[in-house]
Amino acid sequence: MYVGLLYSFFVTILIMSCPDPQELRLYFSGDLTSDRFDAVEEHVKMCPRCQKLCEQWELSSNGFSFMRIDSNQTSDDFLKSLDDYIEKAAEADNGELKLPAELISYTLGKKIGEGGMGDVFEAEQKYLKRKVAVKFIRRSKISPEALDRFQNEMEIIGSLSDPHIVSAYDAGEINGMPFLVMEYLEGETVQDLIQREGRISPKAALDIVIQAAKGLATAHAANIVHRDIKPGNLWIDKKGTVKILDLGLARFHSDQSENDEEISGTPDFMAPEQCVGSSSIDARADIYALGCSLYYMITGELPFPTEKYPTTRSKLNAHLLTPLPRLKDAVPKLFSKYERQLWQNVLDAMTAKSPENRYASVKVVIEQLERLKNRHSSFPMILAGYLFSTVSLLLCPGLFALIGIVLACINYKRGSRKHGIVQFTLSVVCGILGWFLGTLAMLNIYEKEEYVPLFKKYFSDEQIPIESEQPLGGAEDQNRKNKKSIPAWEAVYLAKLYEDAQDNDPAAMRTLAWHYYQGKSITKNYVKAFDLYRRAAELNDNVTEKQRQQEMDAAFGMANDGFAPAQRQLGDAYLSGKGVEQDSQKAYEWFLKAAQQGDDKAQFRVAEMLSSGEAGRKDLSEAVKWFLKSAEQGMTESQYALGICYANGEGVEANFDEAERWLLKAARQGDPRHQYQLAKLYRNHGESGKAFSWLEQSAKQGYQPAQQELSKIQGTREIQINVNN
């Protein structure tokens, strides 16, 4: 009992010695002179009433707002009003807010949030069946200042329309309580995310801040400054969209009615100009708060933590005088050195103490943050790093391991530090292991000596010695220095490739053809390369895009070197549009180049295009000349075409003897079409016996026009016989 009495007496003495309210306000704001500051501070540490006063000034979920002090108010009156204020606040916090079940056209549900000034309820808009959120001011908080702030929030939210700012649908008043109807948000605040995760990845943090900056850009364009940007006022919905909340402290920049002595905001994120109650606060204050929020997201620590800055005054002084901690001290392992410097430059520009040294607008902030975001490695780059690292285990370990190391360094430098370290280690390990496995495989190949004689057999005309003949049991070539030599493993590979090509493997044919075209490991031979490509094409295999491109590259290479069959192949390709864009003029040019080298098939193509006009001009006499050159080389189609020209007088004078000569040569090759045309020539010149003979030969091969013609002739003969009888 005596202890209680002594404690009560001690508290009473402390209360009686409480400093003047104005002096206490100066102490709290940090403006008290040094000779009185220590004394007041010691008093506050011991006085529960002064401590409550300071707490009420500081604490508010939506930031804090210092109470205005009436200079005519006595100390006792002021402290009494403070006691009443604290008691009412406690009652409001502990009690339930009594509301009607229905509010105009809204059906109220459960409470989903609360702050220092109001409560938020879930509701349903009855007629539209839309879920909304309704915000009220607590009865105990209804004061002129609170109403002004709530009215300000309603006006500002109503004037803004942006996907990154919470939307307002309606507003009104019931039983003396104003309310605001807003969109219903599902998700959590960034503050909740940080408390759950500890800190946010740099990439995710950039995405959040960029979206918030876009919302601020809309507000600033309307000449509105938020003044309380912080993680607790940034909401992330389930789709990942960030929305700015709580515009209660927001002000139109042109509004200068606010008392200079009133300081408002959240101490952990306040711009220096807010800390001194400046009335000329502009959009750059939001940029400072956004920079502090970004720092908090990526480090998980407040810029000026409470452990080091326990009082509001010390935090405000820190914002005024102390730079933000450096990233190399806060998160030394999060970034590479280069990436960390880029981040530090952006944070320094956002959180400069003087507004003039910050970014001029949030649009500039967005540009800088986008650049910073793009500095991170993309998913394809990270995937490529892992791909090349692992491929080096199986294929060309030296080359692919080196590529993997280069990609690892790029990913590390771009900010994907962990991926870079893993990829670098993986490339080195897989490269060494791949080289070891390759060596074992080579030793295994050397044991397969049976392939060496096969190589010598298949490529004997190449006269290519093998570098490792001695270990394989062969005699060393004395003229080796004058010949192209290849490793034993390559001889094994080529021999196996040749065997597969002999077994009609189209893929092996194409690969071997490419070796012949390039002269890689074997002597360059365009004839063999062309023949292998032709054989592979005849098998109608499924050609990959890479193989088709490789074949076209070989065709162009051989054609440019003057190889006539390749020139003719390009002519066919351009004529059909297979592998290249269809172009009859280019087709004619390649056919002509091959024809001028004596290629009979190309000569026939040139003649055909000249006679049909596909060459860009129609010249029958020139076509006949090319038909003649091709026909003289035994080209059956040219002999037939030349015979038709002489028979019909196309490009030359009609000449039965020449027509008979060339059609006879073509018909003797066994083509029923040519035999039929020769028979028609004989019939037109009255040589029915010869015509009947060739018709029979053509009909026996199943040529339908010949069979029909033969049936008519036989029917006519039967009628003649019956008439004679």
Quickly list DSSP for 418-436: HHHHHHHHHHHHHHHHHHH
pLDDT of 297 reads 95
Provide the pLDDT for residue 702.
87
Three-state DSSP state, 243: strand
**pLDDT for the residue numbered 279:** 65
On whether the CB atoms of residues 297 and 209 are closer than 8 A, the answer is yes
pLDDT digits (tens, 9 = 90+) for 525-573: 888 888 888 888 888 667 777 777 888 888 888 888 888 888 888 888 8
* Strand extents, DSSP E, 192-340: 224-225, 234-237, 242-244, 251-252, 264-265
CA distances from 666 to 625, 642, 650, 670, 674 (A): 17, 10, 18, 8, 6
Handedness of CA 646, 651, 654, 655 (dihedral sign): negative
Please report, for residues 18, 48, 491, the alpha-carbon distance to residue 5 in angstroms, rounded to integers and kept in the order given. Answer: 20, 17, 107
What pLDDT score was predicted for residue 388?
A: 75
Residues sharing a CB contact under 8 Å with residue 45, sequence separation 6 or more, in sequence order: 51
Which sequence positions are flagged as catalytic?
228
**What pLDDT is attached to residue 352?**
93
- pTM of the complete model: 0.45
Nearest-10 crossing angle of helices 48-58, 75-94 = 60
Q: Which residue has the tokens 């990439």?
A: 203
The closest of 309, 215, 312 to 265, measured between CA atoms, is: 312
Pick out the chain residues at pLDDT < 70: 1-17, 21-22, 25-35, 38, 45, 51-104, 115-117, 138-155, 157-159, 175-176, 248-263, 278-279, 375-379, 414-417, 439-490, 492, 540-541, 715-725
For residue 687, give every residue at least 6 positions away whose Cβ sits within 8 Å of its Cβ, in sequence order, or none.
none
Stated as kind and residue range, the H or E segment containing 178 is: strand 177-183
Query: pLDDT at position 451, please?
Result: 54
Instruction: Give the span between the Cα atoms of 723 and 704, in whole angstroms.
Output: 29
Is residue 106 within 8 Å of residue 134, measured between CB atoms? yes
